Structure formats: structure tokens, C-alpha cells
Amino acid sequence: MQAGGVKLDIPTRILHIGLVVFGVWAWWIGEDAHDYDKADHSGFMLHMYVGLTFASFLLLRLVWGFAGPRELRFSAWFPWNSARFAYVKADVRTLMAFKLPEPVTHRGLNALVQSLGLVLFTWQGASGALMSMLIVPGERTEGWLSLVREIHHEWGGVWIPAYLVLHVGASVLHAFKGQHIWKKMIFLE
């Protein structure tokens, strides 16, 4: 058992690495997807396939969150009750005192940020998968599909980098403090 909470199993680590690689890649090339309505829509096609790969990893992660090891299931860590929110409040109070909370896997602010990330990334994966089935390359979107596309691309371009700064930034700050929590995700611990 690690000092920072539960020990992460190999499938959880592989799923996290897949989400990072394909999620960041899909976000990075997202601007190229604006050519969906052009005769040459290769940017859209690459973004779509990378995004669908990301959505596949996400779907597996969601299944693993319900069927994986008991201590890693969502029911064990999503901050949905008052006892779990007490950990979040304690972590916020620690931050307000200009200190870093202890990095405990799937507890407190850590669990809240990861929960928020899963919800937001589920929207991106589901809306992207829907658009991959309904958008006809070379034609403009209209109506509700145009709204979904707009939210997916424009808002995703705001909250994805914000989430990455928060999630990665916390790991970097903890590393400066000597707590290299990032190592457990890439099999170094």
C-alpha cells in the first residue's frame, strides 16, 4: 500500500495512460477538425479517429470504475456524501492556508477534481462519438447537432486545458514538495 492511499492496479494505470495520450492528442488537433465541412476534411477525420480511441478508453475506464477492484470503484471515492465532502472542505482549508493537502488517492479535493474530469470527459467522448455518427463530412451541421458541435469544440477548448493545468499542476506542486505522485501512474512506484 502506498502512503498516498490505495495502490493502483495495472488496468487502472493503462487506462489512465490511454486517456492522457489520446485525450491530449484529440484536444491538440481539435482545431484541425473545423474542416469537417470542406471537400478535404482530413483534419476532421484524424480528430474523429483519435477522439473515438479516447472515447473507447474512457468507456473502459467507466466500466472499470463500476466493476474493477473495490477500493478503486467510483462508489468508494466519488465525493457524493457529507463525509467525503468533509475531506474536500479540509483540503480547501489547507490550500487557503497556503499549504498543499496530502496527496491521498481518491479522497478529498483529489477525488472531486477527478470526478469533475470524468464527467466533463464523458461529455466530450459521448458528444464526439455522436458527432462521428451524424456529421456528414463535406456538409455543414445544422440545428441541435450544430449546438452540440459548438459546445464540444469551443467549450472543450476552454475546460480541457483548464483541467490539465489543475490536474498536472497539482502533481508538479507535489513533486516540488518531494511527493512524486505522478510516478505511480507510469509504473515507477
pLDDT, residue 2, reads 43
Buried b (16+ CB within 10 A) or exposed e, 118-136: bebbebbbebbbebbeebe
In the predicted structure, residue 22 carries a pLDDT above the cut 50: yes
Query: Mean pLDDT over all residues of the chain?
Result: 89
Q: Which residues contact 51 (CB under 8 A, 6 or more apart)?
A: 22, 26, 124, 125, 128, 129, 132
pLDDT tens digits along 96-153: 999 988 877 788 898 899 899 999 999 999 999 999 999 998 888 999 999 999 999 9
Q: Per-residue pLDDT for 58 more than 90?
A: yes
Rounded to whole angstroms, the Cα distance separating 10 from 30 reads: 30
pLDDT over 80 (residue 3): no
Q: Which of 30-44, 59-73, 145-159 has the lowest mean pLDDT?
A: 30-44
Question: Across the strands, what pairs with 2?
Answer: 5
pTM of the model: 0.87
d(Cα 135, Cα 182) in Å, to the nearest integer?
Answer: 38
Percent of residues, the chain, with pLDDT higher than 90: 57
1 has pLDDT over 60: no
Residue 79 has pLDDT above 80, yes or no: no
Q: What is the pLDDT of residue 53?
A: 98
